[in-house]
Amino acid sequence: MNAPLLDTTNPGKTILVTGAGGCIGSALTHALLSNGAHSLILLDHSEQNLYEVNMQLLAAGKSGYVAVLGDVLDGALLAEMFERFRPDTIYHAAAFKHVPLMESNPVAVVRNNAIGTWELAKTALRFEAQRLLMISTDKAVNPRSVMGASKRVAELALLRMANSKTKMNAVRLGNVLGSQGSVGPLFQQQIEHGGPVTVTHPDARRFFLTLSETVELILAAAALDDSGKIFVPKMREPVRIADLASRMIQEAGLQTPRGIQIAFTGMRPGDKLEEELFSAQELLEPTGDERLRRVKSFPLDPEELDASLDRISSSVDQRNLAALIAELGKLLPEYQPSETLLGLLNPSLA
């Protein structure tokens, strides 16, 4: 890390953003620097993403940050960063998120999303950081995808490590319009190429947020004086993806059916018709911010959770998919693996 030193005039006010080169991470970084943050660590394992956010910040005349190439699974790197810069606040935006792709790469997504979060939380606790906020997803609720299951395990690992000295929380968000891999840019590209615009199912619905709304909610969640909690925003009604596609086609000056067609392609592995922000086993409570609610759920036994996390980590290290799926099922009885995932164990089921 031969980067310029951060601003040391505000000791204890250094901020670490993981996944800083991604859509949410880079938007959050811009917002933090624009709002007066002086010392930021930008961590990303994608060289291209880190390069792009670094060039954007340089072009905007921003300073007071270091760009670090690496990931949260590198314990030695984390220890070096925390020892050198002593981050006070951590925004954990790094995650694998593409559902169908992750169904074919289950070990990678659990390793990155769940074990990586656990590693980060342990390091934050060790160095007595004041606050860690993870950006979670509605797909963690009653997961049908291994990506969703990995984020639910990450939530549990994070909340397990939280205490009054190092406050750790998570905020569940819906789909972010315009983010990499979201339907908005995909539909726009398909429209520009003359269609068809592909939608999985006529009744598929999703919660949508703009990027600016997402950043505002993240900053609001980080400001709440809680520890070991999950927050969910008060969302608008979910949007039918087919309606979004139709609106984008119309806004492009085209009319269906004479213009670009919508093609329904069928549900993909790990997809749900509708997402949920909380489960039937969870209750919602008000917070000090009217935009956010606190999720109240029954706590798991700490020793049992620790043992489960150890077994999941061991299964990942050994690339033992059968053991991994079994452990996920024990920890998350609501998780229903897809046929694609089960087919990796038994090709005759694929």
Q: Residue 228: inside a domain, yes or no?
A: yes
Q: Tens of pLDDT along the chain (350 residues)?
A: 544 445 444 444 899 999 999 999 999 999 999 988 889 999 999 999 999 999 999 999 998 999 999 999 999 999 999 999 999 999 999 999 999 999 999 999 999 999 999 999 999 999 999 999 999 999 999 999 999 999 999 999 999 999 989 999 999 998 888 777 678 888 888 998 888 999 999 999 998 899 999 999 999 999 999 999 999 999 888 899 999 999 998 888 765 555 789 999 999 999 999 999 999 999 999 999 999 999 998 888 999 999 999 999 999 999 999 999 999 999 999 999 999 999 998 765 44
Q: What is the predicted pLDDT for the residue at 183?
A: 83
Catalytic residues: 139
Q: Of all helices (H) and strands (E), which one includes residue 65?
A: strand 65-69
List helix spans (H) across 110-175: 116-126, 146-161
- Phi first, then psi, for residue 9 (nearest 5°) are -80, -15
Q: Residue 77: inside a domain, yes or no?
A: yes
Q: Residue 185: inside a domain, yes or no?
A: no
- pTM comes to 0.92
Distance CA 50, CA 1 (A): 14
Helix (H, G, I), strand (E, B) or coil at 277: coil
Contact in structure between 56 and 127 (CB atoms under 8 Å): no
Q: Residue 82: inside a domain, yes or no?
A: yes
| Assigned token pair, 213 | 């709304």
Please give the full DSSP string across 210-230, using - where no structure is assigned: -HHHHHHHHHHHHHS--SSEE
The dihedral sign for the CA sequence 33, 85, 133, 53: positive
Find residue 82's DSSP bridge partners: none
Q: CA-CA distances (angstroms) from residue 314 to 183, 301, 333, 345?
A: 35, 20, 20, 18
Could you tell me how many residues make up the chain? Answer: 350
Range of the domain at 74: 15-175+206-236+275-344
Q: Residue 332: inside a domain, yes or no?
A: yes
Q: What is the DSSP letter of 267?
A: P
Q: Residue 191: inside a domain, yes or no?
A: no
Q: Residue 158: inside a domain, yes or no?
A: yes
Q: Which domain CATH number covers 90?
A: 3.40.50.720
Domain count, the chain: 1
Give the end-to-end CA distance of the chain in Å, rounded to a whole number.
45
Q: Of all helices (H) and strands (E), which one includes residue 264?
A: strand 262-264
Q: What is the predicted pLDDT for the residue at 12?
A: 46
Q: What is the predicted pLDDT for the residue at 2?
A: 44
Q: Of all helices (H) and strands (E), which one includes residue 106?
A: helix 106-109
Q: What is the predicted pLDDT for the residue at 154?
A: 98
For residue 83, give every residue at least 6 positions away whose Cβ sits within 8 Å of its Cβ, in sequence order, or none.
127
Let me know how many helices (H) and strands (E) the chain has, helices first: 13, 15
Q: Residue 131: inside a domain, yes or no?
A: yes
Nearest partner of 344 among 316, 327, 328, 320, judged by Cα: 320
